[in-house]
Amino acid sequence: MNSKDVNARIEALDYLRGFALLGIILVNVIPLLSVKVPLPGTGNATYLRFLYLFVEGRFYTIFTFLFGVGFYIFISRAMAKGKNGNMLFLRRIVVLFLLGLVHVQFHPGEALTIYAVYGLIILPFYRASKVVNLVFGAAMVLVFSFFAEKIFMVVPLMLLGIAAGQYRVFERDVHHWKMTALFTGIMFVLSIGCLMYQYQYAPFEFGDALDETSIETKMFLHIGIMIGPIVSAFYVGLLMLLLRFSIIRKVLSPLKSYGRMALTNYVSQTILILTAGKGLDLVDQLTYIQSLYLCLVIYVIQLSFSSLWLRYFRFGPLEWMWRAMTYLELPPMRKPKI
């Protein structure tokens, strides 16, 4: 594995993390600001259906999968340097859990505490074979998807992430793009079929769309979570293929910075949403499309800030804190002047 392959792998993961964050905020803003349920036949109703078809249950899946990939890479690198990777990871998730405890006070649906707890569960799987993690993870995703409960999907998605790390998927993609194209094509066909099936249950009266009182709505939401991993896999494969083109990597470079500061940006999404909600009196006042406009503003702020920050610093603010508390030493923050 040469240094070029390592850099390509790291960059791909950063792009994917940034991409996942773009989708996560679109869903999180709805409960945080108590966005109004739209009237039937409006643009807001159309956007609601768009969210539940293409966003809800898609991007958290990618983020969770990437946690598993990062878990494997973190411990492997630590052990390669002669350090106790397991102990460092335990310290790392304790810090994540504590940060999550603070975050959950403002965002009840946050994921950091969940990732920390489930991080303990997946720790033994680091030493399991890649075949075991792949087969066990895929089987669990297949079985648990029928329950349509996000909480059940966390461990299997993380296991698939560990398997991806063991198989060096994001390193070998540079040389095996045809396999990526084939995988993406299959996931595209499956996604089209699944989404067409889900759309048959799409509610066109939204008075009960969010409290799941109607059988039709329950089925629509159930199918959405169930097919989430398939659509997510297509998204990941498509982005990986696009990143093969230098012009795409250049255009999407702010997304890479966004993903490198994933922890900082995930938490600051909540801060920006709640600040806007309180400061501009937006709680229970926004429509669905207006929530999209707010997210677009936050995109501009965060993408710009991330790109600017990483010109001068090695890590995002929370990433630096996380690293310092994991290794019990203060890593250099500023980049050396050239």
pLDDT digits (tens, 9 = 90+) for 18-65: 999 999 999 999 999 999 888 888 899 899 999 999 999 999 999 999
Could you give the percent of the chain with pLDDT greater than 70? 93
- For tokens 């250049």, what's the residue? 250
The whole-number pLDDT of residue 9 equals 44
Kindly tell me if the per-residue pLDDT of 163 is higher than 80: yes
Average pLDDT rounded to a whole number, residues 290-311: 98
Mean pLDDT, the chain, rounded, equals 91
Count CB atoms within 10 A of the CB of residue 43: 11
Question: What is the average per-residue pLDDT within 223-229?
Answer: 94
Residues 66, 161: contact at Cβ < 8 Å? Answer: yes
* pLDDT at 290 > cutoff 90: yes
pLDDT: which is higher, 268 or 171: 268
Of the given ranges (52-56, 131-135, 167-171), which has the lowest mean pLDDT? 167-171
Q: Tell me how far apart the terminal alpha carbons of the chain are, to the nearest angstrom.
A: 28
pLDDT value of residue 175: 65
Look at residue 7 and tell me whether its pLDDT is greater than 50: no
Question: Can you tell me the distance from the alpha carbon of 214 to that of 232, in angstroms, rounded to the nearest whole number?
Answer: 27
Three-state SS letters, 144-209: HHHHCCHHHHHHHHHHHHHHHHHCCHHHHCCCCHHHHHHHHHHHHHHHHHHHHHHHCCCCCCCCCC
Query: Does residue 10 carry a pLDDT above 90?
Result: no
∠ CA 256-17-239, nearest 5°, is 75
Distances 260 to 21, 66, 142, 304 between C-alpha atoms, Å: 11, 12, 31, 13
Per-residue pLDDT tens for 138-157? 999 999 998 888 899 999 99
Q: Which of 35, 27, 30, 43 is nearest to 286 (CA)?
A: 35
Give the pLDDT score at 16. Answer: 97
Q: Which two tokens stand for residue 100?
A: 């999550």
pLDDT of residue 79 exceeding 90, the answer is: yes
The tokens of 109 are what? 């649906």
Cα angle vertex 294, ends 238, 256, to 5°? 35
The pLDDT of 320-333, averaged and rounded, is 95
Res 282 pLDDT > 60: yes
What's the pLDDT score for residue 153?
94
Better pLDDT: 39 or 119: 119
DSSP summary character for residue 310: H
Spatial separation of the C-alpha atoms in residues 144 and 158, rounded to whole Å = 14
Non-local CB neighbours of 171 within 8 Å, separated by 6+ positions:
1, 5, 6, 8, 9
Query: Cβ distance 174 to 5 under 8 Å?
Result: yes
Q: Which comes out higher in pLDDT, residue 338 or 313?
A: 313
Confidence of residue 6 (pLDDT cuts 50, 70, 90): very low
Note the helical H segments in 215-287: 215-226, 228-242, 246-251, 253-260, 262-279
pLDDT at residue 314 tops 90: yes
Selected residue with higher pLDDT from 4 and 45: 45
Task: Say whether pLDDT at 125 is over 90.
Answer: yes
- Of 41, 65, 35, 251, the closest CA to residue 141 belongs to 65
Q: List Cα–Cα distances, 80 to 1, 85, 133, 233, in angstroms.
A: 14, 9, 21, 30
